[in-house]
Structure 1
């Protein structure tokens, strides 16, 4: 079958699809598949799962769906993809500012056009972040995929069945033992299922957080069992795309700062905050580029 719905989405500024999607292929294997040079992932549009093929043509992201979408669904998909791929984030002011930070200038220049890719909704971001707490990326990805296989659904696409991230309702129906059987520890199983149940019963409204300032979002989330400051900051970064987050306690960030700033010892949280004063109001992207730097084994100083 030929593609029925096609979207062409132009970015607001310089954009490297290759650099941006390299990270997806490495770290988001449970969500994105590569076929014939394109990325594919399932998304929920209008409450139903669809498969979206993604690529870069000329100066725009193009998306193709082998279904007829209603005008409302097409508008919703356009909005979701622009947000997910940070197409409205113009990084030129960030690049100009980082040229004045000697330790970061070359590192940032080498990643010209690299953008953050957000999760499609806050629920998916929150659950993935909780699963990833204190785990290495590979095992976290394994647990995420196991949750999807257990609680989610599948969409038939070109002879394959592609996974769809579960809804809060689907996860809320699970028992803790279901996740423990997948190698979740008891506490993490409780966090994932209990938060899903809170969303279902209406006592947790993630959408209401979107209009709040960063620190107020953190304050609203911290009382929730299983949510610490790191988890809240990751939700702000990869769920909402907030531009000025500085998760200074993050071990990966502190390791990257030690290498790039050539400090004798790993910097403390307070020392990272002091250095990060020069990154505002683009701290999120400075942090993201440092994480990317740290993830490249061939990088040498």
Structure 2
């Protein structure tokens, strides 16, 4: 049994941070007795892990034997995914003067991003989610995983494994259309996967670029617009200062928080957001949570 304890930078709320997983990540996470089960690829090998909270630490367990190098990679991956090294103290101080957002943020103290384990997974899930409600997007993600991926037995559970670019690249557009993907989205998902599999699209190479450079490179790809690029920066890379002001959810949350008569424009949200720099990603995330839970 591999058992790793990872202490986060405080303040950190595991309950608040994992709420989105319970609500909208059902395709890849299983929740059992407060533990989150999912499969992660460690050096290309699918490893089923349990992720929970105990004695002020994120606890990661697996019954799979791991070498020293694999344990280190797993620990680093969980620290990145669950934002364990992100210090939100300066964010909370910065936003105290931002009425009426200050109480919304204070109520969610300790809420962090949970990032996708790979930029490829994040990109494909985001492309699938374009212009769809969360529920239907989640069903399409599940169908893609079921069709192209595999399963790993872990105790009494059959856990899904998010497919590799190569696995998705082998599909035909009609395979996804049979699963209720429209033709255009089927083409986007498969064509992007083929570009990654063939080495034409180096997603990991984007990590060294600025936010602006990442957006410029991604929007040049068929099927990727600004919203998709910004979501990759948010949920794939954890960049702290993104504001997807065109997002309907963000604009609805701003309307609700500021008690506006109508939905603000993208330009108006961006103008307000100037005062939230350099933490606009977290303001965005807290507003999404406020709209859903508030």
User: Which interval holds the TM-score relative to the shorter structure?
Assistant: over 0.9
Alpha-carbon distance between aligned partners in 1 of 2:186 and 2:20, rounded to the nearest angstrom: 27
Structural mapping, 1:143-182, within 5 Å: 143-182=140-179
Match of 2:80 among 79, 83, 103: 83
Match of 1:51 among 30, 42, 48: 48
Structural mapping, 1:1-301, within 5 Å: 4-296=1-293, 299=294
RMSD over aligned Cα atoms:
0.7
SS at match of 1:254: helix
Q: Any stretches of 5+ residues in structure 2 without a counterpart?
A: none
Alpha-carbon distance between aligned partners in 1 of 2:123 and 2:244, rounded to the nearest angstrom: 16
Alpha-carbon distance between aligned partners in 1 of 2:23 and 2:248, rounded to the nearest angstrom: 20
Alpha-carbon distance between aligned partners in 2 of 1:82 and 1:51, rounded to the nearest angstrom: 17
1:68-116, Cα deviation, whole Å (9 max, x unpaired): 1011111110111000000010100000111110111100010010001
1:232-274, Cα deviation, whole Å (9 max, x unpaired): 0000000000000011111110000011011221111110011
Q: Any stretches of 5+ residues in structure 1 without a counterpart?
A: none
SS at match of 1:277: helix
Deviation of the 1:36 alpha carbon: 2.1
SS at match of 2:276: coil
SS at match of 2:50: strand
Alpha-carbon distance between aligned partners in 1 of 2:30 and 2:206, rounded to the nearest angstrom: 31
Deviation of the 1:37 alpha carbon: 2.1
Structure 2 length-normalised TM: 0.99
SS at match of 1:205: coil
Runs (4 or more) in structure 1 with deviation over 2 Å come to none
SS at match of 1:278: helix
Alpha-carbon distance between aligned partners in 1 of 2:243 and 2:145, rounded to the nearest angstrom: 30
Deviation of the 1:160 alpha carbon: 2.4
Alpha-carbon distance between aligned partners in 1 of 2:186 and 2:170, rounded to the nearest angstrom: 12
SS at match of 1:102: coil
Alpha-carbon distance between aligned partners in 1 of 2:158 and 2:270, rounded to the nearest angstrom: 45
Alpha-carbon distance between aligned partners in 2 of 1:280 and 1:37, rounded to the nearest angstrom: 35
